[in-house]
A = this chain, B = another copy of it.
Amino acid sequence: VSERVPGELMAAEIAEQPDVWRRVLAESGAELDEVAARIRARAPRFVLFVARGTSDNAALYAKYLVEIGLGLPCGLVSPSTMTGYGAVPDLRDVLLIGVSQSGGSPDLVHTVRVAGQQGALTLAVTNDPGSPLAAAAQLHLDVRAGVERAVAATKSYTAQLLTLYLLVGRLCDNGSAAEAAAALPALGERLLAEDTRLAAEAMRYRFAQRLVCTARGYSYPTANEAALKLMETGYLSAQSFSGADLMHGPLAVVDAALPVIVVAAAGVGGDSMRAVLPTLRERGADVFCVGTEEAVAAGTGGLVLPGGVPEPLSPLLEILPLQLLARHLAVARGGDPDAPRGLRKVTETT
């Protein structure tokens, strides 16, 4: 076996993402049409998601799509209510969507199974059509990310985002949704070309023990996912808050010694960060901003996102520089983001 360079798997999987998106766009159409038709036939009135870790951030993203685009109330299930407390809720008229890269965590499988028995229409969104979660659900969508080997999920995350975006687009009768997504792969390649710059930026955080990520709206899951990557690969205590929640207490933590990463793309979510950026600067915070030119100028540094996609698609692009940043930082700190300490690829919780 040839020696592996730390982080090489994660680097390769980050770089693969534009091709993964091309594959999803080219191959998922029929499956999405079929699943959307089945969902429509049941006319769900509430949507629930169940997920863990990175997939939970994809579920939160989809929650915004459902609440805003589909106009349905939506919730994220706490799996322990069904696995531990034995809750048997009335789930008629509910669509329950389990999101998981591996489709292997027992608590998600149990939740999807019980939900089906309790009257819900169940859908599994996984990277493995042969997984227990796919088998437990009535419907399945394959996110087509290909085998993911690095413990830190990257390509499966954006493949989940894209698959969920295309599904909700179909459910909203938004014909232009898929069309808009066609611009993603080329824009993703442009952002990935900033790898050298992100490697240099990562050095600024080499000695940081903690960090705050913040964003609002569709980009809030990006802040969560960036924090999770920084935790699991670089071992930073990286916290994530919606820009509004940050103001309700956690702001007290922010000072000149605490780095902040702000995501503020073009659109409603980014606009609502305009009030947050000056507050952070007043507190002396170092603010690295991934977003519009205006937002980056309001920080102390950052990376301007290319235009060209509607706001709901921006999260696929925003996370790319932050994945690169996390990988470089982890390697600089002596870690191996392909196999972080204490973690395995498939986490089994009950």
Query: What is A's interface to B at a CB cutoff of 8 Å?
Result: 45-46, 48, 52-54, 56, 63-64, 67-68, 71-81, 84-85, 87-94, 107, 152, 209-210, 212, 216-217, 220, 228, 231-233, 235-237, 239, 242, 244-245, 247-255, 258, 268-269, 271-272, 279, 283, 340-343, 347, 349-350
In the complex, which of the residues B75, B89, B93, B254 contacts A76, with contact meaning CB atoms closer than 8 Å? B75
CA distance A107 to B235 in the complex (A): 35
Taking CB atoms, residues of chain B closer than 8 Å to A78 are 63-64, 67, 217, 220, 242
CA distance A80 to B269 in the complex (A): 8
On whether the beta carbons of A268 and B228 are closer than 8 Å, the reply is no
CA distance A268 to B350 in the complex (A): 12
On whether the beta carbons of A258 and B283 are closer than 8 Å, the reply is no
CA distance A254 to B269 in the complex (A): 32
13 sampled A-B residue pairs with Cβ under 8 A: A45-B90, A45-B92, A48-B73, A63-B75, A75-B76, A84-B269, A107-B244, A231-B249, A232-B249, A247-B349, A252-B340, A252-B343, A272-B350
In the complex, which of the residues B76, B80, B210, B343 contacts A217, with contact meaning CB atoms closer than 8 Å? B80
CA distance A80 to B46 in the complex (A): 19
On whether the beta carbons of B45 and A73 are closer than 8 Å, the reply is no
CA distance A250 to B54 in the complex (A): 11
Taking CB atoms, residues of chain B closer than 8 Å to A152 are 249
On whether the beta carbons of A52 and B248 are closer than 8 Å, the reply is yes
CA distance A340 to B46 in the complex (A): 40
CA distance A271 to B268 in the complex (A): 43
Taking CB atoms, residues of chain B closer than 8 Å to A107 are 244
Taking CB atoms, residues of chain B closer than 8 Å to A90 are 45, 71-73
On whether the beta carbons of B45 and A71 are closer than 8 Å, the reply is no
